[in-house]
Amino acid sequence: AQSVTQLDSHVSVSEGTPVLLRCNYSSSYSPSLFWYVQHPNKGLQLLLKYTSAATLVKGINGFEAEFKKSETSFHLTKPSAHMSDAAEYFCVVTLYSGAGSYQLTFGKGTKLSVIP
């Protein structure tokens, strides 16, 4: 069975310092991986995606993530946090489960706080 684990439920950083949000997955197949961001009382917005092309993926707003198959990880990073990055972030894994069907699994989310 596939699963997604976001290793931190809450991360707090100072403005201008690096951000690291950690995500590990378990899967028997090559997954598609996504990071989404959710600002308070808003829907989810796609930050970036990995779909078996380059292992280092660049997204919007200066975020990037690296797919590491040997570590089954897809951590999200940003060199310098901005106040507007304060939000909840979700790691998502999509796997093909046969017969034209896909299984999507969301992590439980990491809430990012940015201290001025």
Partner 1 sequence: NAGVTQTPKFRILKIGQSMTLQCAQDMNHNYMYWYRQDPGMGLKLIYYSVGAGITDKGEVPNGYNVSRSTTEDFPLRLELAAPSQTSVYFCASSRQGYYEQYFGPGTRLTVT
Asked if 72 interacts with partner 1 (CB under 8 A), we say: no
HSE, side-chain direction, 13 A CA sphere, residue 67: 21
- 102 scored as a contact of partner 1 (CB under 8 A): yes
Rounded CA-CA distance 4/108 in Å is 8
Only segment of 14-22, 67-75, 78-86, 105-113 that touches partner 1 (CB under 8 A): 105-113
Beta carbon of residue 43, minimum distance to partner 1 (angstroms, whole number)? 4
CB of 44 to partner 1, least distance (A): 4
Nearest-approach distance from CB 35 to partner 1, in angstroms: 10
- Cα dihedral sign, 91-96-97-99: positive
Residues 6 or more apart in contact with residue 101 via CB below 8 angstroms: none
* Residue 52 DSSP symbol: S
Q: Which residues bind partner 1 (CB under 8 A)?
A: 9, 32, 34, 36, 41-46, 49, 51, 90, 94, 96, 100-102, 104, 106-109
